[in-house]
Structure 1
Amino acid sequence: MTNPRGNGLRSVADQSEQERGGPGSILSRQSRDHAELDELMRSYDRATGPAERGRVVAEVGERALRHAFAEETVLFPAYRRFLAGDDDELTRHIEGDHQTVNEALERLQGADPADAGYDEVVRHAFEVIRHDAHDEEDDLLPRLQQAVGVEELRSIGAAWEVQRRLSPTRPHPRVPREPPGNVLAGIPLAVSDRVKDAFDAGGARRGVAVAVVAVAAAGALVVLARAVRRAGRGGAGPRA
């Protein structure tokens, strides 16, 4: 299929998993997550009432925020390092869109799904998320694929997955979009978000239990933050 960007690159959406470098490659991980996000967003239109729409938006929001945070702390720094000679307009543009989505999700957090204007904010956020997925699959990821080998794509993918699992789960539009600021800010936010999520889901006892797990997760984020600083000084491995 012809790449709609007209850049001569083959979209990862049109590649097999083997061509992307296997299931652990950053290309495959991103593509799978995009597809699952898209299906979640489509389920918003199938929702039968405001409460169900609100649940869908909350799930899309958490998934999209984790995905974006992993991009900003792992994928984009790797892209900038391996394609240092490229104009970095693309990643800056996507980071700007991430900011837009964060702001929209923050507005939706306290909103009633039955309120006038709720649906408009949701659909705008979904449109931006889908736009970014196309930018990444049609442009950013194929460029990275040309610049590095399969093993490096898998290494970036593994780091991306760790960060996605440990990232904050709620919108934080005032957090920096680039390392090291976003990684360092993400450590306490990841802990506090998980405690809030646990209290919302199951009360105080569950909140305390998850807080213990979150502290352990924060330790892993500290390791990632140190890796970012090392990479910034020219250390080995992708900037994670």
Structure 2
Amino acid sequence: MGQGDGGNVIEELVTDHREVEELFGRIEALPPGAEDRRLYADRATMELVRHAMAEEDYLYPSVRERVPGGDVLADDELDRHARAERIMKDLEGREADDPEFDRLVGMLMREVRTHLADEERNLFPRVRAECPTVILDGLGDKVRKARKTAPTRPHPSAPDEPPADKTLAPGVGLVDRMRDAMTGPGKPY
């Protein structure tokens, strides 16, 4: 996602927010049914998966450890991620001219925009107030390093050994492939 220039974790994540919003804007600028809406929806999905993983792997553990009430905050954020991911899974495989595509992409944009605005208004200021600069900078470095090894596009990597082959295949979708490519097949996120 965002290629920050050495900023702390919050600056990196805000850069991600702007990139996702840019992709949403491109979807909205195209007429319903336009084929490129599918392309931009897939790119937004990939960006959102990467962003969620960065938050889940690096930000939320610090929220739990350092921010008063952090367990509740992190759990709420994880619930929001799960809701967005369910919408992204429902969106997979739908062509831009499918009437459900517009409904689902609209739901995804509303869900994600609400989540991102809430993070910037509530979560990020609390993290800044409670986490020392050295921690925030270190987490920013980790996010940047993780991005360098993250795939730039999904790679099918569904497990082919029992029992995992029965849980993910057939029909492993974009969200699952992205998660598998970054964490390994069948591993929790």
TM-score higher than 0.5 here? yes
2:168 aligned with 1:159, yes or no?
A: no
Task: Decide whether the 8 Å contact of 1:69 with 1:164 is kept in 2.
Answer: no
Letter in 2 for 1:142: P
Question: What's the secondary structure of 1:172's corresponding residue?
Answer: helix
Give me the whole-angstrom Cα distance separating, in 2, the residues matched to 1:61 and 1:70: 14
Gaps of 5+ in 1: 1-21, 176-183, 191-240
Gaps of 5+ in 2: 155-173
How far apart are 1:90 and its partner, in Å? 2.2
How far apart are 1:187 and its partner, in Å? 2.6
Letter in 1 for 2:101: Y
How far apart are 1:163 and its partner, in Å? 3.0
2:30 aligned with 1:26, yes or no?
A: no
Give me the whole-angstrom Cα distance separating, in 1, the residues matched to 2:70 and 2:56: 17
- CA displacement 1:47-106 (0-9 Å, x = unmatched): 2443111011011110011001111111101111122x4253222122111111212112
Give me the whole-angstrom Cα distance separating, in 1, the residues matched to 2:112 and 2:145: 21
Match of 1:149 in 2: 132
Task: Decide whether the 8 Å contact of 1:97 with 1:132 is kept in 2.
Answer: yes
Give me the whole-angstrom Cα distance separating, in 2, the residues matched to 1:172 and 1:91: 22
Give me the whole-angstrom Cα distance separating, in 2, the residues matched to 1:77 and 1:127: 26
- Superposed counterparts of 1:90-129, under 5 Å: 90-129=73-112
2:183 aligned with 1:187, yes or no?
A: yes
2:78 aligned with 1:59, yes or no?
A: no
- Superposed counterparts of 1:13-92, under 5 Å: 23-48=6-31, 49-83=33-67, 85-92=68-75
Give me the whole-angstrom Cα distance separating, in 2, the residues matched to 1:62 and 1:125: 13
Q: In terms of Rg, which structure is larger?
A: 1
Q: What is the CA RMSD across the aligned residues, in angstroms?
A: 2.5
Number of residue pairs matched by the alignment: 159
Match of 2:123 in 1: 140
Give me the whole-angstrom Cα distance separating, in 1, the residues matched to 2:140 and 2:148: 12
Give me the whole-angstrom Cα distance separating, in 1, the residues matched to 2:103 and 2:62: 35
Give me the whole-angstrom Cα distance separating, in 1, the residues matched to 2:102 and 2:148: 28
Give me the whole-angstrom Cα distance separating, in 1, the residues matched to 2:150 and 2:22: 22
Question: What's the secondary structure of 2:115's corresponding residue?
Answer: helix
- CA displacement 1:86-143 (0-9 Å, x = unmatched): 2532221221111112121122221121111211111111111111111211111111
Give me the whole-angstrom Cα distance separating, in 2, the residues matched to 1:38 and 1:27: 16
Return closer, same or farther for 1:151/1:87 CA change in 2, 3 Å cut-off: closer
- Superposed counterparts of 1:190-229, under 5 Å: none
Task: Decide whether the 8 Å contact of 2:64 with 2:70 is kept in 1.
Answer: no
Question: What's the secondary structure of 1:171's corresponding residue?
Answer: helix
TM-score, normalised to structure 1, is 0.59
Return closer, same or farther for 1:95/1:158 CA change in 2, 3 Å cut-off: same
Return closer, same or farther for 1:70/1:189 CA change in 2, 3 Å cut-off: farther
Letter in 2 for 1:73: D
Task: Decide whether the 8 Å contact of 1:67 with 1:164 is kept in 2.
Answer: no
Task: Decide whether the 8 Å contact of 1:41 with 1:60 is kept in 2.
Answer: yes
